[in-house]
């Protein structure tokens, strides 16, 4: 994937650098799609209908959106915090624009038409809000220097010069040669992000009004949220199967699978328990299969969630032309 992130503190003109970088890249035959704050907010509203987003969930929500867009376009953004995303991915260039306080105050004076004292107060407020947002979303108030491929000093370089350097760095790092994000890679990223989001109880709009049952454990609740993300209909413990009878042919033992997926006629039994208890559960599953051979049931450990999604075809792959 091709992704360029231009980062900077309030008043550093990182947005202007990003805009000029896009123009410079286009002039050299490399087209990138800009993802602004308002566009990202729009994507989030479209998918999650304006649900309140816990700060700790912001990175995963943004990752899910960027991954989807990266299958269609190379991307450029200057949204604060995006420097924390996609660490270690090839085809990603992260740039930090450093600007001293005096220049940042001057930038705010011009942009907001403020006198210097008011611009100083505004900068102090913006810096405080930015640090607080980073702390809440990523656990630290300032990004480490190790996140960035390139740092440019706006006290010595103009925004045009910095943009030219970023464009040169993009070509030097091979960003234009990076292919778009593949479907399997995007789904791997989506799965990891959505699994973490499910722990925050964030669900897509089509499931917002569903009253969730009381689950037996946290793993079941997370799994249900994950199914909601992929809009897979499910039922929780819909049926108890007799698996043992007394001499009067009365049922004395039952087995109730955790989930039923009606679209796939598949029962799911989850387990994250210790081995001694898992053995007992496996015995019940074995009996169920022997007594009801027409019942399709699978046992999944927590580490097997991803196998459920990919190997059982719960994600529809795109149709090839």
* Whole-angstrom distance, CA of residue 134 vs CA of residue 140: 6
**pLDDT for residue 118:** 95
Stronger pLDDT, 275 or 120, i.e. the higher one = 120
This prediction's pTM:
0.67
Confidence of residue 31 (pLDDT cuts 50, 70, 90): very high
Task: Give the tens place of pLDDT for each residue, 150-160.
Answer: 999 999 999 99
Mean pLDDT, the chain, rounded, equals 84
Task: Give the tens place of pLDDT for each residue, 81-126.
Answer: 999 999 888 899 999 999 999 999 999 999 889 999 999 999 999 9
Rounded to an integer, the average pLDDT of 175-189 is 82
Give the pairing of strands 259-261 and 92-98: unpaired
Task: Give the tens place of pLDDT for each residue, 43-78.
Answer: 877 766 666 678 888 898 899 889 989 988 999 999
* Whole-angstrom distance, CA of residue 30 vs CA of residue 131: 34
**pLDDT for residue 318:** 42
**pLDDT for residue 28:** 92
Residues of the chain with CATH 3.40.50.300: 3-196
The answer, yes or no, to whether residue 231 has pLDDT greater than 90, is no
- Percentage above 70 pLDDT, the chain: 85
Q: Which of 122-136, 191-205, 244-258 has the highest mean pLDDT?
A: 122-136
Q: Could you tell me where the beta strands, DSSP code E, fall in 107-233?
A: 150-153
Stronger pLDDT, 217 or 57, i.e. the higher one = 57
Those residues with Cβ within 8 angstroms of residue 118's Cβ, 6 or more apart along the chain or in another chain = none
- The closest alpha carbon to 47, from 25, 32, 64, 31, belongs to 64
Burial 189-228 (b: 16+ CB within 10 A, else e): bbbebbbbbbebebbbeebeeeeeeebeeebbbbbbbbbb
Q: Rounded to the nearest 10 degrees, how much is the dihedral formed by the CA atoms of 255, 261, 265, 268?
A: -40
Q: CB of 99 within 8 A of CB of 105?
A: no
Residues of the chain with CATH 3.40.960: 209-311
Structural domain 209-311, CATH architecture: 3-Layer(aba) Sandwich (3.40)
Domain 3-196 class in CATH: alpha beta
């Amino acid at each position: 994937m091709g992704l360029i992130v231009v980062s900077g503190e309030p008043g550093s003109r990182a947005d202007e650098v990003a805009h000029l970088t896009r123009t410079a890249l286009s002039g050299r035959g490399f087209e990138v799609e800009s993802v602004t704050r308002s566009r990202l907010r729009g994507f989030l509203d479209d998918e999650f209908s304006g649900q309140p987003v816990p700060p700790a969930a912001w990175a995963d929500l943004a990752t899910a959106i960027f991954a989807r867009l990266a299958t269609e376009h190379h991307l450029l953004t200057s949204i604060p915090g995006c420097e924390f995303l996609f660490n270690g991915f090839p085809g990603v260039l992260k740039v930090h624009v450093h600007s001293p306080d005096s220049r940042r105050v001057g930038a705010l004076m011009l942009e907001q038409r403020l006198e210097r004292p008011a611009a100083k107060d505004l900068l102090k407020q913006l810096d405080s809000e930015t640090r607080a947002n980073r702390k809440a979303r990523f656990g630290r108030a300032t990004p480490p220097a190790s996140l960035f491929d390139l740092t440019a000093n706006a006290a010595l370089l103009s925004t045009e010069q910095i943009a030219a350097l970023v464009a040169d760095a993009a070509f030097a790092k091979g960003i234009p040669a990076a292919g778009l994000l593949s479907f399997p890679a995007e789904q791997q990223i989506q799965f990891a992000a959505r699994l973490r989001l499910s722990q925050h109880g964030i669900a897509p709009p089509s499931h917002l009004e569903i009253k969730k049952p009381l689950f037996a454990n946290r793993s079941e609740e997370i799994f249900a949220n994950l199914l909601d993300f992929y809009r897979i209909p499910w039922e929780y413990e819909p049926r108890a199967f007799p698996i043992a009878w007394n001499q009067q042919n009365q049922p004395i033992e039952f087995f109730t699978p955790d989930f039923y997926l009606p679209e796939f006629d598949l029962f799911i039994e989850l387990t994250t328990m210790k081995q001694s208890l898992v053995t007992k559960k496996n015995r019940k599953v074995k009996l169920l299969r022997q007594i009801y051979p027409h019942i399709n049931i699978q046992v999944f450990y927590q580490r097997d969630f991803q196998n459920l999604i990919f190997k059982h075809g719960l994600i529809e792959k795109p149709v090839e032309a």
